[in-house]
Amino acid sequence: MRLQLRKGLGFGLTSGIITTLGLIVGLEAGTGSRTVVLGGILVIAVADALSDALGIHISEEAENRHTVAEVWEATLATLLSKFFVALTFAVPVWLLADGTAILASVVWGLFLMTVINWYVAMKGKEAPWKVIGEHLLIAVLVIAVTYAIGSWVATLG
């Protein structure tokens, strides 16, 4: 797999998982509304995917060492991977009861993070447990913080 494609996919998938999980957990804790959570997932799939794709695009251009095609390859890989991975979280929210949907989403997200980071560790000839552990810890921290924020926001109304 070419470097630009790996960059875009790695960034898009990781950002899509962590951002969407944080959003889901925070919105559920704050509102308890399946409609709000689904709406949040759809909005983040579009707005954040476009935002991150533009960020990668500008970052790649700023390096001043990539062809136009390479810049667009990273941009489109980021956009599509973030968009589609975010949408996968809508499935459990749509099909399962609220509490079960959130748990299923967290399990799904952590599973995806594990698979992606296992690939990264193998590609970089690193110890998988170290790479996976570090990134899962960050994901769990995001989940915990967004749950706390959502719970706090729920007390304001």
| Tens-place pLDDT, residues 84-109 | 999 999 999 999 987 899 999 999 99
Per-residue confidence (pLDDT) for residue 41, from 0 to 100: 97
Residue 118 contacts residue 128 (beta carbons within 8 Å): yes
User: Which one, of 124, 126, 92, 83, lies nearest residue 111 by Cα?
Assistant: 92
Per-residue confidence (pLDDT) for residue 76, from 0 to 100: 95
Distance CA 53, CA 143 (A): 23
Per-residue confidence (pLDDT) for residue 135, from 0 to 100: 93
**Residue 119 CA: distances (Å) to CA of 10, 93, 123:** 10, 28, 6
Mean pLDDT by 10 residues, the chain (157 residues): 84 94 97 95 96 95 92 94 96 92 96 94 90 94 97 92
